[in-house]
């Protein structure tokens, strides 16, 4: 997902980027105590390869303790009045804002995200926590007209929304702060306790968030953060019967595996996509071209709603392509810590090699690289591909890399059909000023969101957000995450 606040690229900020993000030794937060592990794992700067932190790896026993602490803390936290939960979450939001640059530097280094987008991510997390604070005050049920049934005559009915208990949050590397915030903020607002397992490649931001939550007044045991691989810590959390809900963001195969093992736990799944956007002949190209460039290449395309398939009407395809290539050629690729960097490294070299291999495979099958295609270590140049066919990996699978395929079409209905021709269904975009076409797209495209006069990548943090088909189950966006993290309790009173 990506939406920079309009006009706020972060790159124009005054002052130097803090290079020394923190200490090298980190601890995990378990039951209100900062603890070491018997083993540690290094976290590296994704551009330089330098080790920027050593993080304890949670053992089975530590994982058990974290879940136990969350379980123990649940009765008191779930009864903590809404106004107090509001104040704690609001304070967390303020502290994130206060430490914005330092946290952005951590994101920049551990995720390899360009500075302006790292700053943008912290701004968004500030809002996500503010929305969560506000939401804490308006969690309520409603009355049910019992006498609509003859059997209900004379009874009064209403339902309450109750916290579910321990929520396990399992999060990906690409938004190490805001996607954690989307689980922790609503979870705490609703009165749940949490155990967070961040991505192994980007745990430092999550640990920093734990410090901030502690400072904001979250009581011991209510929020726990443990680090370790998905195959160990992730699986232990998934199968633990004390966990009431798993809120997962990540890849579809891992999500599917979690569902298989989770049994009857509640689950929310925020998964991948190969997002499409349509450019109709009446589109405002001045707006569409730069927005499409950002949508394809922000965070090196490692965004779940990154623009991967761009359908261009043949009447504008030539002009759009030439302007798109020109704008792409102006992107600054390299060190994410440089304030004017647009595209940094990918998360690891293996992923960059995989994307490069997909590009080569597409070329071998007849596609043409119009820009980029070259890789150096983890850095893949922003890549524009023409003549790709629907069955090529660069089109039909999630690329999660700085690459976009341009596809020319003649009929609008054909473009809508092609956007839908995907196992995924997270978000899609269409540029048109014809309301009938916009409404047709809204009606026919099977995704969790359709953006008109924007690309698939648009998101603000209070809107309902989530996917259809292989893109997931349930919705996030603070109010909607609260709904997913609460149980309905029906009360019927017979006087």
Q: Could you list the residues that contact ligand NAP (CB under 6 A)?
A: 170-174, 179, 197, 199-201, 229-231, 234-235, 238, 249-251, 254, 257-258, 270-272, 304, 398, 400, 426, 467, 472
How many angstroms separate the CA atoms of 398 and 298, rounded? Answer: 15
Q: Which CB atom, from 267 or from 362, has the smaller least distance to ligand NAP?
A: 267
Greatest Cα-to-Cα distance within the chain, rounded to the nearest angstrom: 76
Start-to-end Cα distance in the chain:
51
Q: Which CB atom, from 227 or from 279, has the smaller least distance to ligand NAP?
A: 227
CA Rg value for the chain: 23
Closest CB 29 distance from ligand NAP, rounded Å: 17
- Torsion angles phi and psi, residue 360, rounded to 5: -60, -45
Closest CB 476 distance from ligand NAP, rounded Å: 7
Half-sphere exposure of 14 (CA within 13 A, CB side): 0
Closest CB 82 distance from ligand NAP, rounded Å: 27
Closest CB 58 distance from ligand NAP, rounded Å: 11
* Nearest residue (beta carbon) to ligand NAP: 230
Q: Which CB atom, from 110 or from 280, has the smaller least distance to ligand NAP?
A: 110
Cβ atoms of 308 and 275 within 8 Å: the answer is yes
292 assigned to active site:
no
Cβ atoms of 335 and 344 within 8 Å: the answer is yes
3-state secondary structure of 70: helix
Q: Which CB atom, from 247 or from 328, has the smaller least distance to ligand NAP?
A: 247
Closest CB 169 distance from ligand NAP, rounded Å: 9
Q: Which CB atom, from 275 or from 486, has the smaller least distance to ligand NAP?
A: 275
CA distances to 85, 92, 190, 204, 408 from 309, rounded to whole Å, are 42, 38, 38, 33, 11
Please report, to the nearest 10 degrees, the dihedral formed by the alpha carbons of residues 451, 457, 462, 465 taken in order: 80
Task: Choose, from 135, 270, 280, 476, the residue flagged as catalytic.
Answer: 270
304 assigned to active site:
yes
Closest CB 243 distance from ligand NAP, rounded Å: 12
**H helical segments located in 252-330:** 252-262, 285-297, 314-329
Q: Which CB atom, from 382 or from 472, has the smaller least distance to ligand NAP?
A: 472
How many angstroms separate the CA atoms of 58 and 229, rounded? Answer: 9
Task: Choose, from 110, 135, 280, 304, the residue flagged as catalytic.
Answer: 304
- Return contacts of 136-143, CB within 8 angstroms, 24+ apart: 136/82, 136/85, 136/86, 136/89, 136/188, 136/189, 136/190, 137/82, 137/83, 137/86, 139/82, 139/189, 139/190, 139/482, 139/486, 141/488, 141/489
Q: Catalytic positions, please?
A: 270, 304
């Amino acid at each position: 997902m990506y939406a920079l606040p309009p006009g706020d690229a972060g790159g124009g900020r005054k002052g130097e980027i803090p290079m020394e993000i923190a200490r090298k030794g980190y601890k995990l937060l378990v039951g209100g105590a900062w603890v070491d592990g018997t083993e540690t794992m290094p976290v590296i700067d994704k551009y330089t390869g330098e080790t920027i932190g050593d993080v304890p790896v949670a053992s089975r026993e530590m994982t058990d303790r974290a879940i136990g602490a969350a379980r123990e803390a649940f009765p008191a936290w779930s009864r903590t009045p809404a106004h107090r939960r509001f104040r704690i979450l609001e304070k967390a939001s303020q502290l994130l804002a206060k430490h914005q640059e330092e946290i952005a530097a951590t994101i920049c280094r551990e995720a390899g995200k360009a500075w302006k987008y790292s700053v943008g991510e912290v701004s968004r997390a500030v809002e996500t926590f503010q929305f969560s604070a506000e939401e804490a005050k308006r969690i309520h049920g409603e009355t049910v007209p019992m006498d609509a049934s003859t059997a209900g005559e004379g009874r009064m009915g209403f339902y309450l929304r109750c916290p579910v208990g321990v929520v396990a949050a399992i999060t990906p590397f690409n938004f190490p702060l805001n996607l954690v915030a989307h689980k922790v903020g609503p979870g705490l607002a609703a009165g749940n306790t949490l155990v967070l397992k961040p991505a192994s490649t980007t745990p430092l931001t999550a640990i920093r968030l734990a410090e901030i939550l502690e400072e904001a007044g979250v009581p011991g045991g209510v929020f726990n953060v443990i680090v370790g691989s998905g195959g160990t810590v992730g699986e232990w959390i998934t199968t633990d019967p004390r966990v009431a809900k798993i809120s997962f963001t990540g890849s579809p195969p891992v999500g599917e595996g979690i569902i298989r093992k989770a049994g009857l736990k509640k689950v929310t799944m925020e998964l991948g996509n190969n997002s499409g956007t349509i450019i109709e002949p009446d589109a405002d190209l001045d707006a569409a071209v730069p927005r499409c460039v950002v949508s394809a290449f922000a965070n090196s395309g490692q965004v779940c709603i990154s623009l991967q398939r761009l359908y261009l009407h043949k009447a504008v395809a030539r002009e759009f392509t030439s302007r798109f290539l020109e704008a792409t050629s102006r992107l600054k690729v390299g060190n994410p810590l440089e304030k004017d960097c647009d595209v940094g490294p990918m998360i690891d070299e293996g992923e960059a090699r995989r994307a490069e291999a997909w590009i080569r495979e597409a070329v071998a099958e007849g596609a043409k690289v119009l820009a980029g295609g070259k890789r150096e270590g983890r850095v893949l140049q922003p890549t524009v591909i023409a003549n790709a066919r629907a069955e090529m990996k660069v089109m039909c699978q999630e690329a999660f890399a700085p690459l976009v395929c341009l596809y020319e079409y003649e009929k609008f209905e054909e473009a809508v059909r092609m956007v839908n021709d995907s196992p995924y269904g997270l978000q899609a975009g269409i540029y048109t000023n014809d309301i009938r076409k916009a409404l047709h797209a809204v009606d026919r495209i099977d995704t969790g969101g359709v953006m008109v006069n924007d690309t698939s990548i648009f998101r603000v943090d209070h809107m309902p957000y989530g996917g259809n088909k292989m893109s997931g189950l349930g919705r996030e966006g603070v109010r909607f995450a609260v709904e997913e993290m609460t149980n309905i309790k029906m009360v019927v009173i017979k006087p």
